Amino acid sequence: MLEFMPPLTLTEDEVIEGAAIVDQAIADVTAGKVSDADVASFMMWKAGATSRVRKRSPPVRRRWCLP
């Protein structure tokens, strides 16, 4: 789950750019270009930890509702 809390002054161009960045990041992870170890320091769980085992989810279907 991703939660975004943008500033109220966010422009439409910034929304489009941010959505493109997130979309590319998700595509890279789905394609296996990024390992769990690469992003472990940014997550609330550590790659390979036995106390919290997360199974890979099916690919995310992305649908953007932009003006």
pLDDT digits (tens, 9 = 90+) for 4-54: 888 889 999 999 999 999 999 889 988 989 887 887 777 665 555 544 445
Give the pLDDT of residue 34: 86
Give the pLDDT of residue 14: 93
Q: How far apart are the first and last CA of the chain?
A: 23
Q: Under 8 Å CB-to-CB from 19, ≥6 apart: which residues?
A: 64, 66
Rounded Cα distance between 17 and 66, Å, is 11
Rounded Cα distance between 44 and 47, Å, is 10
Rounded Cα distance between 62 and 67, Å, is 16
pTM, to two decimals: 0.53
Give the pLDDT of residue 18: 92
Give the pLDDT of residue 54: 54
